[in-house]
Structures are given as structure tokens and as C-alpha cells.
Amino acid sequence: MATKNLQELLDEGVDGRHILVRSDFNVPLDDDGNITDAGRIDASLPTLQALIDGGAKVIVMAHLGRPKGEVNPKYSLAPVAEALSERLGQFVALAGDVSGEDAHERANGLTEGEIMLVENVRFDPRETSKDEAEREEFAAELAALAADNGAFVSDGFGVVHRAQTSVYDVAKKLPAYAGFLVDKEVETLSRVKDAPEHPYVVVLGGSKVSDKLGVIEALAEKADRVIIGGGMCYTFLAAQGHNVQNSLLQEDMVDTCKELMEKYGEKLLLPVDVAAAPEFDKDAEKKIVGLDEIPEGWMGLDIGPETAEKYAEAIKNSKTVFWNGPMGVFEFPNFADGTKAVAEAMIAATRDNDSFTVVGGGDSAASVRTLGLDEDGFSHISTGGGASLELIEGKDLPGVSVLSA
């Protein structure tokens, strides 16, 4: 049975109906609680605006951070409510609880075209509980917010790989539909997974080999090149026999990296130089060094310029590129060059080679905005890091499969 989408719900009619929406508002905040990257909020707007325009009474659920099942003002959705109010051009109320008295009173008081947020769903321990009965109870409370003629719209792609209450269990309680964002993400990423045009280049960064092992194995079978950067590249370099000094290293994964290099050979592209520093600091001294020239006690914080050029060349000659994970500590301007080179090569491939280029969410998407690059220069920027990786890898996404159950 195919997944029903938001357009079908809109065609049925939402005027006067309570529509419960799961969005992904897990946005980064600075020390003062200000949103530093509103990409996920902006990505949610088409679905929310369509429901508002259709006359729905919209109730939005989301999480922020990891409050570990406890109410913590630090993780309140108040900044999100403010940002949504500004972008939608209308007041977005925030309930004082998740599924309690205030949430229900506010939901009952909504009129056509109004929208509200419930508080962070992860303030309730039942959201992530392993106990099915607890999740069932919480799902019933959330579904009750949508009253008798309600529906559920799943639009938080960044969480669909989690079988959590507001993503999975609620979908069993109400007529369930994929929002515009989830629909677009699944369609776009499935194109990369099922029918990539060759040459197909995968760019993987991030800190740990163990986090990307399944992806490397799954994608190396399909891709023509797998580019390795970020913190995890130092475990590969150690497996090549280089002394990576104080660089990030997973010693227990060195043998695994050796096996991957033996199995995939020249298909794996690894650094040939690095940008090293004596400490992990934005103002640290930077030296471009060869693989055996990292000074004693120093650490690699970015790929070097020769590596960046080699990687950019492979990307520019591609027809499909999937990128997940920065090449270095892009948050420090001094160590953002490798990540910027990869991103700019993808933009060039899109423009000059008509390549299909996908940024796989998470830190990669954040880096595009942090570095001030043109988001329209890519074919697609995903909102879900883990979810996009698992979809590309061929894993089941519970929050999507439940929509067609």
C-alpha cells in the first residue's frame, strides 16, 4: 500500500479539522538561546502554510536537544515559536506542556487557520521509551489533541529513522500522511539510492569510522569513488601506517579500515596532506603537512589543499554526488577550507556538468549555510543527517513505513 501524502489530505479537505504535525525543529542554539541555523524551520514552512491556507487547526509537535525525559527550560521550543511566528506572519502559541491540560485547552481553542506548538516532546520520557505500553499511552494523549476528525502529518524527516512516539506510534492512531518535506526527501534520496547516474561519487566525513561503517560498505558497492575526510580519515591513515599523532583515532577500527582499503582499493580516496594544529582551538596555529609530517603532539583538523584539489577533481567529473560529513572543523574558519572546497566543487558539478548533487543533512547542511554558500547551487540539501544516511544505505525508516501500514 502506497504512502498517502499531504496533497491527498488537502484534496480531501482540512477546513476546520485539527491536524497534528510532527516537524523537525531540532535547531542549534547559541549560549543565549538564539537560533544559529534556522534551516529546518524554513524547510517546514510549505507544509504548515498549506495547512493554514486550507483552514486547518494546526498543532505542531517537535523536539529540541536531548532533555532526557525531563522538563528543562534550556530546551524549550520558545525560540522556535518566535521564529515560526515571524516567518508565517501570524502568532504561533506555545503550550506550557506536551500533552497535558494547557496543550488540550489551546488545541480546543484553535480556530480555522490558526497554529500552535506543544512543548518539546522529549520533555516526556514516554517519547523515547522502550516500553510499548508507555508509548501507546503517550500516543493516545497526543492523538487526542486532534479531536475526532483529525489527521496526522509526518513532516520531520530528521526523525523518521526513529520509532518514537510522536513519529511512529501516533501515526497508528490517526489517518496518516507524509508532509511535503518528507515526501520530497524520500523521493530525492531514493533517486540516489536506486538509480544514480555514473560516475557516482560519495563524500563521507564526520568523526568516527564506526558511525559510517555500514554506509561505506553499502555505498562502496555502488559508487565509483568514495571520498574519506573528517575526523574518521585519521583512522584510515593510521591503517596505512602513518603516525597521526594526537589526531582523532579509533584504534579499535584500524584493522577494519585495513580490510576496507584492501577490498575497495583505489575506489577509496584518502588524504595526501592535512592541516594540523597544536590544539583544538579556533585560533590555533595551522600548518599544512604531509601525512608523515604531523608535528609531535599536534592533530589534524582539516584536509590539506592538495587533498582538497584531488577531491574536487573527482567531484567535478561526477554525474551524481552524495555528501555527508564535513572534511574538517568547519566551525573554525581556519580549518574550513577542505569542507568549502568540497561544497564548491559540488556547486560547480551541478552548474557545469549537470550533476545531481545531494547534501546529506546534519553538519554538512549546516556548513553550507555557515560558509555562506548558495544553497540553490545544490540539487538537494537534506534536513536529516541520520535519516538520509539510513535511507541511502537501504535501511527501513520506521517513520515512513508506518505511513503505509
Residue 235's alpha-carbon distances to 27, 208, 240, 253, 310, in angstroms, are: 30, 8, 9, 7, 20
Q: What is the mean predicted confidence (pLDDT) over 356-384?
A: 93
Same domain, 252 and 386: yes
Q: What is the mean predicted confidence (pLDDT) over 219-241?
A: 96
Q: Is 26 annotated as a binding residue?
A: yes
Is the backbone peptide bond immediately before 398 cis, with ω within 30 degrees of 0? no
Q: Is 360 helix (H, G, I), strand (E, B) or coil?
A: coil
Considering the domain boundaries, does residue 33 fall inside one? yes
Q: Is 212 annotated as a binding residue?
A: yes
Same domain, 25 and 57: yes
Q: Is 361 annotated as a binding residue?
A: yes
Strands (E) located in 262-373: 268-269, 273-277, 287-290, 299-303, 320-324, 356-359
- Domain of residue 373 covers 196-392
Choose the catalytic residue: 69, 96, 113, 386.
386
pLDDT, tens only, 298-309: 999 999 999 999
pLDDT, residue 1, reads 46
Same domain, 85 and 147: yes
Q: d(Cα 304, Cα 138) in Å, to the nearest integer? A: 50
Q: Is 135 annotated as a binding residue?
A: no
Q: How many helices (H) and strands (E) does the chain have?
A: 14, 15
pLDDT, residue 398, reads 96
Q: What are the backbone angles phi and psi of residue 140, rounded to the nearest 5°? A: -65, -40
Q: d(Cα 179, Cα 44) in Å, to the nearest integer? A: 9
40: annotated active-site residue:
yes
Q: Does residue 9 register a pLDDT over 60?
A: yes
Q: Is 64 annotated as a binding residue?
A: yes
Domain edge (last residue) among 118, 151, 183? 183
**Listed residue (125, 36, 116) closest to 84, CA to CA:** 116
Q: What are the backbone angles phi and psi of residue 227, rounded to the nearest 5°? A: -90, 130
Choose the catalytic residue: 17, 22, 40, 225.
40
Q: Is 16 annotated as a binding residue?
A: no
Residue 251's alpha-carbon distances to 234, 235, 248, 258, in angstroms, are: 10, 7, 10, 12
Q: Assign residue 143 the CATH number of its domain.
A: 3.40.50.1260
**Listed residue (244, 273, 268, 271) closest to 256, CA to CA:** 268
Q: What is the mean predicted confidence (pLDDT) over 220-247?
A: 96
pLDDT, tens only, 175-193: 999 999 999 999 999 999 9
Q: What's the whole-model pTM score?
A: 0.90
pLDDT, tens only, 264-309: 999 999 999 999 999 999 999 999 999 999 999 999 999 999 999 9
Question: What is the residue-averaged pLDDT of the chain?
Answer: 95
Same domain, 48 and 142: yes
pLDDT, residue 361, reads 80
pLDDT, tens only, 126-182: 999 999 999 999 999 999 999 889 999 999 999 999 999 999 999 999 999 999 999
Q: d(Cα 274, Cα 329) in Å, to the nearest integer? A: 12
Considering the domain boundaries, does residue 189 fall inside one? no
The total number of structural domains that make up the chain: 2
Choose the catalytic residue: 150, 325, 362, 399.
362
Same domain, 169 and 202: no
User: Which one has a higher pLDDT value, 359 or 405?
Assistant: 359
Q: Does residue 2 register a pLDDT over 80?
A: no
Residue 211 banded pLDDT, cuts 50, 70, 90: confident
pLDDT, residue 405, reads 63
Q: What is the mean predicted confidence (pLDDT) over 58-69?
A: 97
Considering the domain boundaries, does residue 401 fall inside one? no
Q: Does residue 76 register a pLDDT over 60?
A: yes
**Listed residue (386, 57, 68, 70) closest to 214, CA to CA:** 386
208: annotated active-site residue:
yes
pLDDT, residue 37, reads 87
297: annotated active-site residue:
no
Q: Is 247 annotated as a binding residue?
A: no
CB 188 within 8 A of CB 196: no
pLDDT, residue 209, reads 85
Choose the catalytic residue: 87, 191, 208, 369.
208
